[in-house]
C-alpha cells in the first residue's frame, strides 16, 4: 500500500525540491497524477488552463522531478536545450549548426526542441521546459517568449539566451530586423524604382514578428518620397503560395517594379510568378529576399545576408558566460546586402 508523504499545503514558503512529489503537485492543483504528468511531459494533451494550474502548483511547491535532480547533479558536463521553428524555416537549422559546433568543442550535450512558427501560434512546450527539461541552459531562437513563461524561466534561474527575437529579461543575440528591410529598400530606391511590393508570411500570432519589422524598415526606405507607392500582401509560408500571391500583385495595371519578400523562400515564389507572366527580371521587375541561404545562391537572388552560423556560436558563448555569472548582454551582428542578378 502506497504511503503518502505529509502534505506541504499549509506551508507559505516553497518546500525544498527533494521533499516534493508529483502527488503533492496533483493535490495542490486539484488534478490527477496522470494530468500532472501530461502537463509536464505531453502538454498538448491538456487544456491551457489546466496546464497553467499545474505549472503554478509546481512553482509554488518548488517541484523538480527526480530525473531532473539527477540532471542537476551532472552539471559538470552540462546539457542545454535549443528551441526554434526548425521545420518552418531552414535558416534556424543553420543557426543550430553553429550551436552544435560550439557545444561539441565544449563537450556540452544539446537537446533540440522544434516549435511551430511563431507567426502562426504559440506552443505549450516552452511553458513546461523549466520543470521537466533537465537542462542547464536554454537557447530560444525566433520565438517571442510570453511574459508569463519568461517570468517562470527567470524565477527558476534557468540561464536563457534569446536569438533573433526581443527580450527584456534575457541575454539576446540577433540583428536589426528593421534594418534588414531598410537595406534592400534603399538599394531599390537608388535603382530608380518608385512602385514597390512587399510579400510576407501570414501573421496569425499577435506580436511584432520579423516580417513586420522588416516591412517597417522597407516602408521607411521606399516611402521617403511622396510619389513612391507600396503594396503589401501576405500568403502562407510556401513557394506555391508566394507564387500565387505574387502573380496577383503583378497582374495589377500599376504593378510594382520592385518586390521584396520577407525571406528567400517567398522570393523564389516571386521569381516564378514573374516567369509565369513573362516579366523579365530585373528588367521589368526587381526582386529581393532576405537570409542568403542556398536557395538564394542557386537563384542568383539579391538578398540580405544574415550571419546564421555565427549567431548560433555567439549564442552558445553568451549562454556559457551567463552560466558562469556574467551579466546580461545584447549582441547585435552585422547585416549586408548580397547584390546579384535579380536587381
130 vs 55: CA distance, rounded Å: 10
Query: Which H helix or E strand runs over 260?
Result: strand 258-261
| 281 to 44, 123, 259, 305: CA distances (angstroms) | 46, 40, 11, 20
DSSP state of 124: S
User: Across residues 119-123, what is the average pLDDT?
Assistant: 57
| Contact assessment for residue 230 and residue 222, using Cβ atoms and an 8 Å cutoff | yes
Grid coordinates belonging to 60: 509554488
Antiparallel, parallel or unpaired: β 171-174 and 195-201: unpaired
Residues in the chain: 343
What are the domain boundaries of the chain?
A: 17-61, 68-174+308-336, 177-305
Contacts of 222 (CB under 8 A, 6+ apart): 185, 188, 189, 193, 196, 228, 230
The two domains 68-174+308-336 and 177-305 share their CATH topology (first three levels equal) = yes
Between 95 and 15, whose confidence is greater? 95
pLDDT tens across 299-343, in order?
999 999 999 999 999 999 999 988 777 666 889 999 999 999 999
pTM of the model: 0.74
| 129 to 29, 59, 75, 173, 343: CA distances (angstroms) | 18, 12, 17, 21, 45
Residue 228 clears pLDDT 50, i.e. is over it: yes
3-class secondary-structure state, position 129: helix
**What is the structure's pLDDT at 76?**
45
Bridge partner list, 198 = 232, 260
pLDDT tens across 254-307, in order?
899 999 999 999 999 999 999 999 999 999 999 999 999 899 999 999 999 999
How confident is residue 74, by pLDDT bands cut at 50, 70 and 90? very low
| Contact assessment for residue 338 and residue 184, using Cβ atoms and an 8 Å cutoff | no
User: Across residues 195-213, what is the average pLDDT?
Assistant: 85
Q: Mean pLDDT: which of 10-19, 80-89, 253-262 is highest?
A: 253-262
**What is the structure's pLDDT at 124?**
62
Least confident of 39-48, 129-138, 178-187: 129-138
Q: Give the CATH fold of the 17-61 domain.
A: 434 Repressor (Amino-terminal Domain) (1.10.260)
85 vs 96: CA distance, rounded Å: 11
The gap between the terminal CA atoms of the chain, to the nearest Å, is 76
Between 99 and 77, whose confidence is greater? 99
How confident is residue 8, by pLDDT bands cut at 50, 70 and 90? very low
pLDDT tens across 93-119, in order?
999 999 999 999 998 999 999 887 655
91 vs 101: CA distance, rounded Å: 16
| Contact assessment for residue 111 and residue 137, using Cβ atoms and an 8 Å cutoff | no
Cell 537595406 belongs to: 183
Q: What is the CATH number of domain 177-305?
A: 3.40.50.2300
CA nearest neighbour of 185 among 225, 157, 156, 149 = 225
Specify the CATH architecture of the domain 68-174+308-336: 3-Layer(aba) Sandwich (3.40)
Longest dimension (CA), the chain: 82
Indicate the average pLDDT of the chain: 85
**What is the structure's pLDDT at 325?**
73
Amino acid at each position: 500500500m502506497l504511503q503518502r508523504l505529509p502534505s506541504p499545503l499549509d506551508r507559505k514558503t516553497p518546500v525544498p525540491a527533494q521533499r516534493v512529489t508529483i502527488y503533492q503537485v496533483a493535490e495542490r492543483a486539484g488534478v490527477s497524477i496522470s494530468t500532472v504528468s501530461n502537463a509536464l511531459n505531453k502538454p498538448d494533451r491538456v487544456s491551457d488552463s489546466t496546464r497553467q494550474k499545474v505549472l503554478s502548483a509546481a512553482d509554488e511547491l518548488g517541484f523538480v522531478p527526480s530525473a531532473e535532480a539527477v540532471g542537476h547533479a551532472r552539471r559538470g558536463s552540462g546539457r542545454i536545450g535549443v528551441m526554434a521553428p526548425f521545420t518552418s524555416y531552414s535558416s534556424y537549422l543553420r543557426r543550430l549548426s553553429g550551436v552544435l559546433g560550439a557545444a561539441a568543442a565544449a563537450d556540452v550535450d544539446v537537446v533540440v526542441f522544434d516549435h511551430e512558427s511563431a507567426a502562426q501560434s504559440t506552443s505549450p512546450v516552452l511553458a513546461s521546459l523549466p520543470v521537466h527539461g533537465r537542462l542547464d541552459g536554454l537557447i530560444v531562437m525566433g520565438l517571442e517568449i510570453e511574459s508569463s513563461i519568461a517570468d517562470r524561466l527567470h524565477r527558476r534561474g534557468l540561464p536563457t539566451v534569446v536569438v533573433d527575437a526581443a527580450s527584456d529579461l534575457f541575454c539576446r543575440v540577433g540583428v536589426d530586423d528593421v534594418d534588414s528591410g531598410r537595406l534592400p529598400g534603399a538599394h531599390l530606391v537608388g535603382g530608380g524604382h518608385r512602385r514597390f511590393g512587399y510579400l510576407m508570411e501570414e501573421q496569425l500570432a499577435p506580436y511584432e514578428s520579423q516580417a513586420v519589422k522588416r516591412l517597417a524598415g522597407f516602408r521607411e526606405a521606399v516611402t521617403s518620397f511622396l510619389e513612391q507607392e507600396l503594396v503589401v500582401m501576405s500568403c502562407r509560408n510556401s513557394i506555391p503560395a508566394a507564387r500565387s500571391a505574387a502573380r496577383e500583385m503583378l497582374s495589377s495595371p500599376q504593378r510594382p517594379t520592385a518586390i521584396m519578400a520577407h525571406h528567400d523562400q517567398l522570393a523564389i515564389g516571386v521569381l516564378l510568378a514573374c516567369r509565369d507572366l513573362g516579366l523579365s527580371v530585373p528588367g521589368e521587375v526587381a526582386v529581393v529576399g532576405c537570409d542568403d541561404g542556398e536557395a538564394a545562391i542557386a537563384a542568383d537572388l539579391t538578398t540580405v545576408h544574415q550571419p546564421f552560423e555565427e549567431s548560433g556560436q555567439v549564442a552558445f558563448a553568451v549562454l556559457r558566460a551567463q552560466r558562469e555569472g556574467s551579466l546580461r548582454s545584447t549582441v547585435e551582428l552585422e547585416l549586408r546586402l548580397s547584390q546579384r542578378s535579380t536587381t
